[in-house]
Amino acid sequence: SFWLAERFAEISLRFLRDHGLRPQDVDLIGSHGQTVWHQPPSACRDQPQATPSTLQLGEPALLAARTGIVTVGDFRVADVALGGEGAPLVPFCDWLLFRKPGQVRALQNIGGIANTSIVHEDAASVLAFDNGPGNMLIDALAPAAAPPGSGLRIDRDGQLSAQGRVDERVLAELLDDAYLRQPPPKSTGRERYGQSFAERLQARHPKVAPQDLLATAVAFTARAIADSLRSFAVSEVLVSGGGAHNRTLMRQLTHCLHPTPVRPLSAVTAGLGIDEDNKEAVAFALLAVQAVHGEPANLPSVTGARGRAVLGKICLPPLVAS
């Protein structure tokens, strides 16, 4: 946790130098950290002895000490402490920034895990949940599908998956998934759809070509997202995260949701400084602002928490940065 925070501090200070800024020019840092374990209440329903918990690495106190900037981190635990899922947390910001009168928008992020915010005009009506494996399974399968010596570790722009064919039998198996059938609120993570999930999939289907297995994983992500959105009658789907750059994935998602428009987030944020890649960073900056003002930022309609909570632990820097 401390090692990772050191790297965060180095990157933050380099970013400031590159943009001609000093630490004293910055009011605060909102740092989500790296999730290494997420076991929300929904994952404990069949395990009476299990304790709902979540763990993110990247100690915010060290980040504050190294940069000299007030740092807010560890955002999820306050919601879990109130019986919530601790995720997703971005929907509050989605509602704040992207609600539109007379429309229901789906703000679909495709990061390691796919998550969506169903944004109504009224914050109390916002619904959000993790709706599939996102890029996590795709990234785990990509190296095996890459040409020898190419150095490709991810399905960049959907190039690798575009060369494969979807195996409908394997796709049907993947879609027969207990998590996907579970109603929201719900959240998931690496412990379900990470490297071990990919390795088990490869072991079950050794005769399926790596390119075809990758193409099937992309189809799985698209179908899982599309199936989760159909019942909400959304006006449009705005996509952010790394998955927005995967052309194969975006093509499949557009096909699955037709005639509902599917567009990259930047199609509606021109001039705002928010795009597919930085939306989550903007969101956690907003959550940090809420925290230092003592204002709640979770949405119980989303997480299932018993009430509103101020999210994040505020870490003050020493008088002189270390």
The CATH number covering residue 294 comes to 3.30.420.40
In-domain check, residue 275: no
233 occurs within a structural domain? yes
- Does the residue 26 lie in any domain? yes
| Residue 307 and residue 201 share a domain | no
| 206 belongs to a structural domain | yes
Specify whether 41 is located in the same domain as 138: no
pLDDT at 321 over 70: no
Question: How big is the CA angle at 80 (ends 243 and 265), to the nearest 5 degrees?
Answer: 25
Q: Confidence class of residue 186 from pLDDT cuts 50, 70 and 90?
A: confident
301 within domain boundaries: yes
Over 90: is that where the pLDDT of 152 sits? no
pLDDT digits (tens, 9 = 90+) for 228-250: 999 999 999 999 999 999 999 99
State whether 250 and 122 are in the same domain: yes
Whether residue 77 is found in the same domain as residue 105: no
Q: Is the pLDDT of residue 322 over 80?
A: no
Closest CA to 312 of 273, 283, 278, 275: 283
Are residues 184 and 204 located together in one domain of the fold?
yes
Could you tell me if residue 320 is inside a domain?
no
- From CA 47, how far away is CA 53, in angstroms rounded? 13
Q: What confidence tier does 320 reach under pLDDT thresholds 50, 70, 90?
A: low
Q: State how far Cα 41 lies from the chain centre.
A: 19
Structural domain count of the chain = 2
Q: Where are the beta strands (DSSP E) in 160-278?
A: 236-240, 262-264
Average pLDDT, the chain: 95
Q: Are strands 53-57 and 34-39 parallel, antiparallel or unpaired?
A: antiparallel
Half-sphere exposure of 282 (CA within 13 A, CB side): 18
Share of the chain above pLDDT 90, in %: 87
Query: Based on the domain organization, do 133 and 232 belong to the same domain?
Result: yes
Provide the domain limits for residue 49.
Answer: 2-86+280-315
- Terminal Cα-to-Cα distance of the chain (whole angstroms): 17
Q: Which residues contact 105 (CB under 8 A, 6 or more apart)?
A: 98, 99, 118, 119, 234, 235, 236, 237, 238
Are 125 and 182 within one domain? yes
Does residue 116 sit in the same domain as residue 243? yes
Q: How many residues does the chain have?
A: 322
- Residue 55 near residue 75 (C-beta atoms within 8 A): no
Same domain assignment for residues 104 and 221: yes
Could you tell me if residue 321 is inside a domain? Answer: no
Whether residues 253 and 111 share a domain: the answer is yes
Q: Are 48 and 66 in the same domain?
A: yes
Location of structure tokens 């899982």: 224
Closest CA to 79 of 68, 95, 90, 66: 90
Claim to verify: residue 95 and residue 80 sit in the same structural domain: no
Q: Residue 53's pLDDT is what?
A: 95
pLDDT digits (tens, 9 = 90+) for 107-119: 999 999 999 999 9
Query: How far is the C-alpha of 123 from the C-alpha of 117, rounded, in Å?
Result: 11
Global pTM value: 0.85
Greater model confidence, 289 or 183: 289
